[in-house]
Amino acid sequence: MAVFQWTRQGSLLPLGLTAAALALWTAPSLAQENGGNSDLFGSIADFFNPNPMSKGPAIIDAVPYTVDIQIAGDSRSVRSAVAGASNLEILKNRPPSGSAGLVRRAISDFDRITAALYMEGYYAGHIEITVAGASPNSPQIFDIVERARKAGPVPVVVAVDPGPPFVFGNVRILDAATRRPMEEAPSLRALGLEPGEPARADQVSRAEAALVSFWRDKGHPFARITAKDVVADHAADRLNVTLVVEPGPYATFGPFIVSGADFLPPAFIEERIFIPPGTPYSPQTLSRLRKRLLTYEAIASVRIREGDRLNAEGQLPIHIEVTPRKPRYVGFSAKYSSTDGSSVSAFWGHRNLFGGGETLRLDASASWFGQAPDAVPTADPFGYKLAASFVKPGIFTPRDDLIANAALLRDVTNAYVSEGVTGLVGVRHRFDDTLTAQVSLDLENSQVEDANGIGTYFVAGVLGNVTYDTTDNELDPSRGVRINASVEPFAQLGDSGAGPLMMQGSISAYHAFDDDKRIILAGRVGAGSIVGVDDIYSVPPQRRFYVGGGGTLRGYDYQSASPRNEYGQIIGGLSFFDASAELRIKITDTIGIVPFLDMGSAFASETPDFNMMKYSAGIGLRYYTAIGPLRLDFAVPLNPGPDDGDYGIYVSLGQAF
């Protein structure tokens, strides 16, 4: 029987393995089969098509077929790799046009499956493909296919014997200048090229990128791989790898040339670069610069281009191209919780309000608590908030921003109903790209009804806040730490004495276990205390601490894990502690699941009493969008009390923390 086969025997076989495997590891191109773009880039474009099987034009003279993939040894990983690479398998529900289309599809599978085997670390495989029992290269193949199709779908068999798995053997990292082993380089273990480990083709490419990054991080912007030699030793089932590295010259940052920033004041960008000429070159420094500039809402995009040569002082020129956002925007959002209530919001904003990067945003929201508050059973569960926020960059220096907020609101909670106005005005200072501090004047005039009746409170405080943030994404972080701490002495006007001192803080940490960020461990701990008061009733109800609900302790009713009076009504606490742990697992690029544990409680004492903690557990579903994950969480209490519910459901945009 004639077969289409591939096999390699002998001792040493040089392979242009890495580039070839990655180039061939692409999904099928229907355009190629139908007379469209048949080049490599067309195939790569099809690989990123989210729905390559989408219905297209009707196929003329379609040839249905069946495909049987047979793997010697029945390795699950090899079977999955072969099936994922095979055009015949992927497109089996999309018959090709004519016998020539089927033959072309079968022939294309040879190189594709070869690349798939390389990616799995198999370099001595044997592939046989038959169409209606004949090789696709048979001179009579078209006649054979035409006869076979009259009896029904044409049978196609793909038989693969992957051969023995290869491991890395002799691996050398050489200096391009001396052709001797480099004295300074990452370990072979760190590069994923450790002798004896599975010799996957993609690991060689990753090692190349890691070597270039290693030297760029050390101040060598032009580091590159000048040569590589990848040889399969079939006698020993080993892959020997030699990579030749040219670090290039050491560099410092030179001048920064800015373009496209005419929508901002002159030198606005230059004043916020904070990288003087002569600073050692670092890709991370440029990445932080880009992230910092994008915090200004007037800027839509920042493109940073490195110069292609050093200047006479050994400095690298950097070109920064910025583009503006549309000045005005509108939007809306919605949130649902079976324990916290629901809300809808709309907002309007203006970026670059006066031409100096200022931002103004107006928000309007309506909320429905879902039931009468426990502490105020006669209250209307309807709430609202009208708010305005304004930011003026560079109020004193380029590192200082003016922050101002004002709101008119009716806040309905289980513990109280508050109606009033609030205002905050302060200055935020950026010490660097991770550390900021803000000092603000905090004012509030509210009428609050709680279990003790109705009170009017005019509160003034000085709020100090410090934020340290090394995370990589605001809505969906995968790495880094986020710390927030605040201290606020405040007083009720008309009262004697210094007034209470409120202190609170939180720490969140995130760790991705893989480069694709498909498994992330996230944790958060928060605590707070109010000191300097005679008792809990010396603090306005809206300024006390509460725990329970979607923002703190999922599965429990809103504020329910908080101190109560003798009638079982929630009154809030002088301290609190809460913590959460989540394992965020991506099932696909857009769908993820999140098992989680929460704990927490508020306490009547000035310090937390850990003997009174509440616990909950649950599972979440995430749908990942371009603007952040859509969150659906279901949680149940683990040690509920008589006043606690059975479960909680929460829907919102963004991760829980």
Rounded distance, CA 643 to CA 561, Å? 10
- What letter represents residue 531's amino acid? V
Going from N- to C-terminal start, the domains of the chain cover 4-50+59-161, 167-246, 252-324, 328-653
Half-sphere exposure of 429 (CA within 13 A, CB side): 9
The predicted structure's pLDDT at residue 58: 64
CA angle 233, 120, 83 (to 5 degrees): 135
Report DSSP letters for 471-503, one per residue: -S-SSS--SEEEEEEEEEEEEETT--SS--EEE
The predicted structure's pLDDT at residue 474: 84
CATH (one of 3.10.20.310, 2.60.40.10, 3.40.190.10, 3.10.310.10) for 167-246: 3.10.20.310
Rounded distance, CA 106 to CA 88, Å? 6
Q: Is pLDDT at 32 greater than 80 in this prediction?
A: no
Query: Residues, the chain, total?
Result: 657
Q: Are 576 and 528 in contact (CB under 8 A)?
A: yes
Closest CA to 491 of 517, 457, 455, 465: 457
In this structure, what token pair is assigned to residue 91? 């497109």
Strands 252-259 and 315-324: parallel
The predicted structure's pLDDT at residue 61: 86
Collapse the DSSP code of 449 into the 3-class scheme (helix H, G, I; strand E, B; otherwise coil) and give the result: strand
Rounded distance, CA 348 to CA 248, Å? 50
**240-260 per-position pLDDT tens digit:** 999 999 999 999 999 999 999
Mean pLDDT of 13-34: 40
Mean pLDDT of 627-644: 90
CATH (one of 1.10.3720.10, 3.90.105.10, 3.40.50.300, 2.40.160.50) for 328-653: 2.40.160.50
Exposure pattern of 513-540 as b/e (b: 16+ CB <10 Å)?
A: eeeebbebebebbbbbbbeeeeebeebb
Q: Is pLDDT at 33 greater than 70 in this prediction?
A: no
C-beta atoms surrounding 357 within 10 Å: 22
Q: What percent of the chain shows pLDDT beyond 90?
A: 76
Q: Is pLDDT at 16 greater than 80 in this prediction?
A: no
Collapse the DSSP code of 72 into the 3-class scheme (helix H, G, I; strand E, B; otherwise coil) and give the result: helix
Backbone angles phi, psi at 48, to 5 degrees: -95, 5
- 341 to 273, 320, 525, 535: CA distances (angstroms): 44, 46, 24, 30
Mean pLDDT of 637-651: 89
Rounded distance, CA 628 to CA 36, Å? 36
- What letter represents residue 50's amino acid? P
| Residue 587: burial class (beta carbons within 10 Å; 0-12, 13-18, 19+) | exposed
Q: Is pLDDT at 17 greater than 50 in this prediction?
A: no
Q: Are 244 and 227 in contact (CB under 8 A)?
A: yes
Please tell me what DSSP assigns to residue 187.
-
- The pTM (predicted TM-score) of the whole model is 0.74
Q: Is pLDDT at 392 greater than 90 in this prediction?
A: yes
- Shared fold status for 167-246 and 252-324: yes
Report DSSP letters for 501-542, one per residue: EEEEEEEEEEEESSTT--EEEEEEEEEEEEES-SSGGGS-GG
Q: Are 440 and 404 in contact (CB under 8 A)?
A: no
Rounded distance, CA 554 to CA 619, Å? 10
Exposure pattern of 439-477 as b/e (b: 16+ CB <10 Å)?
A: ebebbbebebbbbeeeeebebebebebebbbebeeeebb
Q: Would you identify the CATH topology of the domain 252-324?
A: Ubiquitin-like (UB roll) (3.10.20)
Q: Are 439 and 463 in contact (CB under 8 A)?
A: yes
What confidence category does residue 568 fall into, taking pLDDT thresholds of 50, 70 and 90?
confident
Q: Are 81 and 117 in contact (CB under 8 A)?
A: yes
What confidence category does residue 492 fall into, taking pLDDT thresholds of 50, 70 and 90?
confident
Give the largest CA-CA distance in the chain.
103
Q: Is pLDDT at 214 greater than 80 in this prediction?
A: yes
Q: Is pLDDT at 145 greater than 70 in this prediction?
A: yes
Q: Is pLDDT at 20 greater than 50 in this prediction?
A: no
